[in-house]
């Protein structure tokens, strides 16, 4: 059993009477619950058509009951396999990037760099937390940074731990940073862009208010994480994962003078930094996704191994070691997707959507706008894809908004907040669950830690949506 697996299966030793279930147990329980619900909920479906942009959207008022597709006794077990298939691109991306960083870790270069940074920023390294989170928030707001955070967690987790922070901080910097930016995005083409297109609004219109909301939303989120990071840096025992971090990683060692980097070290570092820059450029300018990123990381592993004078067998050995460390993070994705497989095969996704839509009718416009947000929040558990959720819900929410007097911009805002906030809460969010597993943080510990911030974000989002509707934002 790897150290990561030990972390995920053991909870705080100070409470031996209760141990939170293993993440696989939690996710499989959700799969079984989804399978059971197919026997009690009426199967139904909306008609779907391709719009002018070729995007498949739901036809309003087209819901009809269909023949029940009840899950069989073998369905929950098959769902794990089918979920692995549906999430295969993310799973293999995690394997390849994890293997690449296994090779990088074996060179010891990052450890030297972190020691140098720590010595140079003695007493001031906390500034790295808000700066990094701001970068991730910009990525979430502009090009929908989400799955890509897994790679950054693989990079940042050991670095931040060496600087004296804990695994929650390592997971929070990319996840909360990108998540806050994603939730309050002002020009994310996959959420704001798709939703505005369906709502027949000018692309990225209303950017001024969205940018103001983004600044407030991101600032509060950064302050929350930075405050926690400062606390665990000063008092490590205050960390919620203090015991599990010690079991897995041991006590942080004082950074010694690393000395000057050798020529080989500089080449390794150049290959690493160059890969990150190339990936960033490819994602922003050429729409790169997991396939291209995986290829870049594999090339990086080979180059780094060569620069570090490793023979091919050594490179392969370290690559496998890297995969072993993040294997659970990859497999979690398949379990998360398995929940969605059951719900979709049982034809009850549209039934849930239909009943949630019915709850919104007959309310005052401001109340309806806020309720739209909470409905989207619930639906993100079922459809954790931003563009997929927009295509599913906006064709229904737009005419509903028109009927009750909610502006279309407000309906889009309710969608993007509902879609974004729960991305780093719901266990059906594959990249989020993988990120936690890679960082070595159990879902139960994460929820306990993030709950105050989540409540704060829900309150801010509700107020922002209500104000947008009150002032008839168009």
Report the pLDDT value the prediction gives residue 258, as an integer from 0 to 100: 56
| CB distance 301 to 103 below 8 Å | yes
Residue-wise burial string across 227-251, b where 16 or more C-beta atoms lie within 10 A, e elsewhere:
ebbeebbeebeebbbbbbbbebbee
What are the residue ranges in the chain where pLDDT is below 50?
Answer: 3-5, 7-17
| Residue that is written with structure tokens 């405050």 in the block | 227
Report the pLDDT value the prediction gives residue 55, as an integer from 0 to 100: 60
Report the pLDDT value the prediction gives residue 313, as an integer from 0 to 100: 96
Instruction: Give bridge partners of residue 58 from the DSSP assignment.
Output: 48
How far is Cα 291 from Cα 66, in angstroms, rounded to an integer? Answer: 37
How far is Cα 149 from Cα 174, in angstroms, rounded to an integer? Answer: 6
Report the pLDDT value the prediction gives residue 130, as an integer from 0 to 100: 95
Q: What three-state secondary structure class fits 52? A: coil
Report the pLDDT value the prediction gives residue 8, as an integer from 0 to 100: 46
Cβ-Cβ contacts under 8 Å for 299 (sequence gap 6 or more): 275
The pTM (predicted TM-score) of the whole model is: 0.75
pLDDT digits (tens, 9 = 90+) for 188-234: 877 888 888 888 888 888 989 999 999 999 999 999 999 999 999 99
Delimit the domains of the chain by residue range: 3-9+25-470
Report the pLDDT value the prediction gives residue 385, as an integer from 0 to 100: 76
Radius of gyration of the chain (CA): 23
Q: What three-state secondary structure class fits 14? A: coil
Nearest in space to 387 (alpha carbons), one of 204, 192, 202? 192
| CB distance 171 to 437 below 8 Å | no
Report the pLDDT value the prediction gives residue 388, as an integer from 0 to 100: 76
Sign of the CA dihedral running 436, 442, 443, 445: negative
Q: Which two tokens stand for residue 288?
A: 């790169």
């Amino acid at each position: 059993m790897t150290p990561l697996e030990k972390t995920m299966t053991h909870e705080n030793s100070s409470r031996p009477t209760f141990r939170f279930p293993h993440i696989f147990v939690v996710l499989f329980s959700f799969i079984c619950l989804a399978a059971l619900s197919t026997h009690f909920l009426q199967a139904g479906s909306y008609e779907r058509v391709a719009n002018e942009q070729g995007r498949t959207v739901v036809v309003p008022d087209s819901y009809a009951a269909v023949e029940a597709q009840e899950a069989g006794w073998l369905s929950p077990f098959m769902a794990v396999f089918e979920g692995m298939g549906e999430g295969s691109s993310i799973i293999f991306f995690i394997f390849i990037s994890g293997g690449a960083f296994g090779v990088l870790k074996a060179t010891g270069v990052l450890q030297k760099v972190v020691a140098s940074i720590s010595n140079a920023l003695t007493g001031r390294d906390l500034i790295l937390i808000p700066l990094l989170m701001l970068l991730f928030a910009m990525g979430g707001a502009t090009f929908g940074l989400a799955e890509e955070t897994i790679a950054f967690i693989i990079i940042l987790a050991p670095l931040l731990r060496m600087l004296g922070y804990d695994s929650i901080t390592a997971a929070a910097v990319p996840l909360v940073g990108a998540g806050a930016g994603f939730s309050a995005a002002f020009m994310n083409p996959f959420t704001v862009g798709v939703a505005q297109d369906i709502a027949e609004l000018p692309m990225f219109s209303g950017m001024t208010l969205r940018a103001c909301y983004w600044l407030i939303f991101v600032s509060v989120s950064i302050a929350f994480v930075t405050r926690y990071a400062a606390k665990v840096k000063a008092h490590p025992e205050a960390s919620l994962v203090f015991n599990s971090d010690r079991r897995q990683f041991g006590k942080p060692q004082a950074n010694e003078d690393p000395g000057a980097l050798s020529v080989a070290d500089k080449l390794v570092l150049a290959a690493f930094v160059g890969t990150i820059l190339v990936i960033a450029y490819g994602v922003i300018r050429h729409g790169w996704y997991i396939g291209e990123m995986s290829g870049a990381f594999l090339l990086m592993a080979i180059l780094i191994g060569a620069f570090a004078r490793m023979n091919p067998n050594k490179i392969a050995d370290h690559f496998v070691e890297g995969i072993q460390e993040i294997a659970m993070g990859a497999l979690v994705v398949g379990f998360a997707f398995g929940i969605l497989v059951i719900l979709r095969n049982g034809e009850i996704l549209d039934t849930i959507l239909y009943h949630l839509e019915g709850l919104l009718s007959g309310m005052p416009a401001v109340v309806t706008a806020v309720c739209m947000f909470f409905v989207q929040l619930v639906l993100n558990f079922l459809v954790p894809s931003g563009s997929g959720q927009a295509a599913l819900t906006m064709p229904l929410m737009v005419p509903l908004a028109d009927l009750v007097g909610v502006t279309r911009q407000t309906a889009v805002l309710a969608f993007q907040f509902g879609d974004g906030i729960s991305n780093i809460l719901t266990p059906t969010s594959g990249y989020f669950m993988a990120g936690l597993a890679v960082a070595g943080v159990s879902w139960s510990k994460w929820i306990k830690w993030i709950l105050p911030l989540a409540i704060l974000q829900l309150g801010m989002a509700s107020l922002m949506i209500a104000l947008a509707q009150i002032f008839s934002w168009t």
